[in-house]
Amino acid sequence: MSKTDTSPYIKKIPISKLRKGMFVHDLNCGWMDHPFLTNQFPVKDDDTLKTVCGMGLRELYIDTKKGLDVADALTQQEVKQEISQAMAAIANEPSLPMSVTLQEEIGRARILHKEANQIAHDMLLDIRLGKQIEMEKVEPLVENMIDSIFRNPDALLPLARLKDHDNYTFQHSVSVCALMISFARGLKLDRPTIKEIAIGALLHDVGKAKVPDSILNKPAKLTEAEFDKMKSHVVQSIIVLQHTPGISQIALDVAGQHHERFDGTGYPNKLQGDGISLYGQMGSIVDVYDALTSVRVYKKGMPPTEALGKLLEWSKYHFDPELVRQYIKSVGIYPTGSLVHLESDRLGVVMEQNEEKMMQPIVKVFYSAKSRHYLTPEIVNLAKPSCQDRIIGHEAFDSWGIDPAKWLPQ
């Protein structure tokens, strides 16, 4: 789905074929699933080989230009082609209609997003001080977020993507909450269930209040002890929520199972398949997606379309493939707020989804990729028969030095 060509030297191999002398190009997992600072490193010794093979990975990418090759392995180009075909199939299925226009909803969504970040921030602070979660603040907030996303998800979802390094933990919780509501809406779950899912999503990482900031934001490789401490946030979340009056089992499932994986390689309980509740499975998909697309002190954020491709790729082992398909339908092939490259060699930010034509959203075009300068902004509905332009790939904002906050719906 990306305009950028991939190297034929990058290949995907099963973990069983990893050997000393190879160069790991990508561990092919979320950042919370491995203790390394970087995804790229040479496999020089037995200790490194043992560590990687013991991580529960099924597949990873190697760079055959920098290390040993595996002759019959799929190239990264071939993998991406398979993902593109799967995305195109999903795009042919219509999504749910909006009940109000983006312009009608965006003002309410901006106020709501600010309120949500403040409540999530205060909640983590309270937990660090040993106080209880104030559900009388959480429940009305969640109800308002559900209302907004049911009216028009294109207003709140892109705002929730905006995060900064210092406030990632609580902003991530707000983002996961919004995305989970959209996901549950797409699955056509009933309103009371969606409310409990949303509460669980907003509170899914409260256990991180028990993890030192020096570990949460460490810009270096975590030690084994630090990585174990990081992973302990799930159990800490369960403990906090079990002592919170009014918490449902659905909310507990979201918080307690969002790091479990379909093939049993997750944590803390190595649950697998149907042993993970629907709500826990939903949480794991959304949590990984939001983590992949977020900028951290030690990594750049992945463009949303690329992250969706990773979810599809990993659904071979880590996630229920049908749930991943439903999630992609709920956010779009090119999620609102993402940067796309048009055939006219212009860049634009996706403003709204077209329900019947997911590959042809409404885009605000504002930048010439050819001459690298800003253009007079123009709203282009790619689904209109008169439109001569189309998307040929997705882009990363930072690659072009563009501030995404300036181009989101106003």
> What is the CATH classification number for the domain harbouring 294?
1.10.3210.10
pLDDT of residue 4: 44
Give the whole-angstrom CA distance, residue 334 versus residue 361. Answer: 8
Cα separation, 332 vs 358, whole angstroms? 6
DSSP letter, residue 97? P
C-alpha to C-alpha distance for 62 and 292, rounded to whole angstroms: 20
Query: pLDDT-derived band of residue 188, with 50, 70 and 90 as boundaries?
Result: very high
More confidently predicted of 297 and 113: 113
378's enclosing H/E stretch is strand 373-381
Same domain (yes/no): 111, 210: yes
- 354 shares a domain with 247: no
Domain stops at, among 331, 366, 386 = 331
One-letter identity of residue 226: E
Q: Which residues contact 239 (CB under 8 A, 6 or more apart)?
A: 207
Average pLDDT over residues 189-198: 98
Number of domain units in the chain: 3
- Token pair of 113 as six digits: 């997003």
pTM: 0.92
> How much is the mean pLDDT over the chain?
92
CA 260 and chain centroid, separation:
16
- Give how far the C-alpha of residue 349 lies from the chain's centroid of Cα atoms, to the nearest Å: 18
Contact call for residues 260 and 273 (beta carbons, < 8 A): no
Query: Distance between CA 336 and CA 351 in Å, rounded?
Result: 5
Claim to verify: residue 25 and residue 112 sit in the same structural domain: no
Instruction: Give a yes or no: residue 90 inside a domain.
Output: no
Residues 6+ apart with CB under 8 A from 48: 41, 42
Percent of the chain with pLDDT over 70: 95
**Enclosing domain of residue 18:** 10-77
Task: Check: CB of residue 377 under 8 Å from CB of residue 365.
Answer: yes
Cα dihedral 80, 34, 271, 181, rounded to 10, equals: -60
Instruction: Kindly tell me if the per-residue pLDDT of 3 is higher than 50.
Output: no
Give the model confidence (pLDDT) of 278-297 as tens digits: 999 999 999 999 999 988 76
Q: Are residues 237 and 385 in the same domain?
A: no
Do residues 154 and 66 share a domain?
Answer: no
What does the pLDDT read at residue 353? 94
| Concatenated DSSP letters of 348-400 | EEEEE--TT-TTS-EEEEEEETTTTEEEEEEEEETTSTT----EEEEE-GGGG
Residue 34 pLDDT: 64
* Weakest mean pLDDT among 74-78, 244-248, 291-295: 291-295
Considering the domain architecture, whether residues 121 and 238 belong to the same structural domain is answered as: yes
Rounded average pLDDT over 123-129: 93
For residue 93, is it within any domain? no
Both 385 and 366 in one domain: the answer is yes
Coil vs helix vs strand at 12: strand
Considering the domain architecture, whether residues 320 and 352 belong to the same structural domain is answered as no
Mean pLDDT of 117-131: 93
Does 86 map to a domain? no
pLDDT, position 32: 58
Q: What is the pLDDT of residue 24?
A: 96
Same domain, 274 and 171: yes
- Of 331, 364, 398, the last residue of a domain is 331
Confidence of residue 240 (pLDDT cuts 50, 70, 90): very high
Confidence of residue 219 (pLDDT cuts 50, 70, 90): confident
Res 1 pLDDT > 50: no
User: Which tokens belong to 155?
Assistant: 């207003």
Residue 314's pLDDT band, with cuts at 50, 70 and 90, is very high
Answer whether residue 166 shows pLDDT above 70: no
Cα–Cα dist 194/199, whole Å? 9
User: Residue 5: what pLDDT?
Assistant: 47
- Are residues 348 and 364 in contact, defined by beta-carbon separation less than 8 angstroms? yes
The alpha carbon dihedral of 302, 307, 313, 316 has a sign of positive
Q: For residue 356, tell me if it sits in a domain.
A: yes
Q: What angle do CA 98, 87, 321 make, to 5 degrees?
A: 95
Q: Are residues 311 and 386 located together in one domain of the fold?
A: no
Query: What confidence category does residue 223 fall into, taking pLDDT thresholds of 50, 70 and 90?
Result: confident
- Please give the helix or strand (H or E) that residue 381 lies within, else none: strand 373-381
Strand partners, 13: 60
Q: Work out the end-to-end distance of the chain between its first and last CA atoms, rounded to an integer number of angstroms.
A: 28
DSSP code string of 185-226: HHTT--HHHHHHHHHHHHTTTGGGGGS-HHHHT-SSPPPHHH
**Same domain flag for 154 and 276:** yes
pLDDT tens, position by position, 26-65: 998 865 566 666 788 999 999 999 989 988 788 999 999 9
Residue 249 pLDDT more than 50?
Answer: yes
| Selection from 246, 228, 170 nearest residue 204 by Cα | 170
Does residue 94 or residue 303 have the better pLDDT?
Answer: 303
Residue 251, both tokens: 């909310």
